[in-house]
């Protein structure tokens, strides 16, 4: 099952350690403070424990969301910037796109 990890941590040092934990579990950074990837329930719980130890008594918030493949398929991704800078669009965006006349 896909797992989404989002966090809001003021300390650069702690925030960087949290990001490294996510990378260690094979998660991909999708935003500055958000990672996503495939994790089993056991691995998600293991990651949660590691993140809990990592943040300790530091100020911050970390949330892990299990997301089923059906819901992942329904996601909509919107990217800004010039058209030449776009790497890909979501399937929904492609389906709704209107070609210029």
**Phi, psi of 38, rounded to the nearest 5 degrees:** -85, 120
The structure's pTM equals 0.77
- What is the pLDDT at residue 84? 59
Low-confidence ranges of the chain (pLDDT < 70): 83-101
- What is the pLDDT at residue 87? 54
- What is the pLDDT at residue 3? 98
Which tens digit of pLDDT belongs to each residue from 35-63? 999 999 999 999 999 999 999 999 999 99
The 3-state secondary structure of the chain reads CEEEEEEECCCHHHHHHHHHHHHHCCCEEEECCEEEEECCHHHHHHHHHHHHHHHCCCCCEEEEEEECHHHHHCCCCCCCCCHHHCCCCCHHHHHHCCCCC
Domains of the chain: 2-73 (3.30.70.240)
- What is the pLDDT at residue 101? 44
């Amino acid at each position: 099952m896909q797992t989404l990890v989002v966090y809001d941590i003021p300390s650069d040092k702690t925030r960087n350690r949290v990001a490294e934990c996510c990378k260690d579990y094979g998660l991909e950074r999708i935003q500055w403070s958000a990672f996503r990837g495939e994790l089993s329930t056991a691995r998600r719980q293991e990651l949660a424990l590691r993140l809990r130890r990592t943040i300790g008594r530091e100020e911050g918030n970390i949330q892990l969301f299990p997301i089923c493949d059906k819901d992942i398929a329904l996601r909509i991704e919107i990217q800004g910037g010039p058209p030449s800078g776009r790497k890909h669009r979501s399937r929904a965006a492609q389906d709704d796109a209107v070609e210029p006349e």
